[in-house]
Amino acid sequence: MDDPAFLQQLLDHLPDAIFFKDLQGRFIRINRVLASWHGLQDPAEAVGKSDDDFFPKAFARATRETEEAIRRTGTPILEQEEKLVGRDGKIRWVSMTKLPLRDGSGAIIGTLGVSRDIKGVKRAEEKARDSEALYQSLVESLPQCIFRKDVDGRYVYVNQRLCAFQGLGPKDFLGKTDFDVNPAALAAKYRRDDQWVMSHQKMFEAVEEIKAKRKKVRIRIFKTPVYDSSGRVVGVQGVFSPLPGPRARKSRV
């Protein structure tokens, strides 16, 4: 099991990038995944080199300081998200774990690192942000007032149309409940309606009278449950618009 060839064969079959460094931060051994990240044909080409040979100076210096602290204190870094930028400008996001490398007696003789490429995770996060941005642009362009609450009745989203209609700002809603922004009787009704929507998982529709900017306005409101990715109800969302008032009759001359 102490055969270097056996160790290298084992390392080269792992999906993560792995390295071993000495006390001066020079590579003792790397596997084929990390070699490919550095544009090397053979992992042995990295032996004796350091991060200064593969990364911009500022990044290499920061990495060196971090690993010096690991060797000095023996404290590892576990699954830290890190952005790697190669000398060619290529960006790679990884989940990095670094540990002190010890000999048989327990003395620290270098650093061991394992990096997992998380580009799939970052891509999913980017898609989620794009999706959220598209959703926000849609609801902000609609003429209706729109809100979303969590299962405890706290507002987690209000659009600008709603804020303008009520004469309030987002900070007057977000994190608060209807009991913070409405009379107690109305707040209790809204809470009952929300709970009905969430428990029955059905749409609620009503014509109601609310107070907006010190005057009473009739609205038609629709409420529906909000689900998470697993289909669990996590809140309620509402859409409403003011109803047109009765037309004034023309006087006859």
Domain of residue 84, CATH code: 3.30.450.20
Phi/psi of residue 164, each to 5°? -65, -40
Cα distance between residue 165 and residue 158, in whole Å: 11
Residues 163, 226, single domain; the answer is yes
- In tens, the pLDDT along 195-211 reads 999 999 999 999 998 87
Give domain status of residue 168, yes or no. yes
Which whole number is the average pLDDT over 43-65?
93
Residues 164, 97, single domain; the answer is no
| pLDDT the model gives residue 246 | 56
Residues 48, 117, single domain; the answer is yes
Which whole number is the average pLDDT over 230-239?
95
Residues 113, 187, single domain; the answer is no
For the full predicted model, state whether its pTM sits above 0.95: no
Residues 98, 161, single domain; the answer is no
Q: At which of 86, 121, 156 does a domain end? A: 121
Cα distance between residue 93 and residue 160, in whole Å: 36
| pLDDT the model gives residue 6 | 64
Give domain status of residue 137, yes or no. no
- In tens, the pLDDT along 9-46 reads 777 778 899 999 999 999 999 999 999 999 999 999 99
Give domain status of residue 75, yes or no. yes
Q: Half-sphere exposure of 67 toward its Cβ, with a 13 Å CA cutoff? A: 27
Mean pLDDT for the chain overall: 88
Number of domains in the chain: 2
Residues 155, 89, single domain; the answer is no
Query: Which residue range forms the structural domain that includes residue 147?
Result: 142-242
Residues 14, 90, single domain; the answer is yes
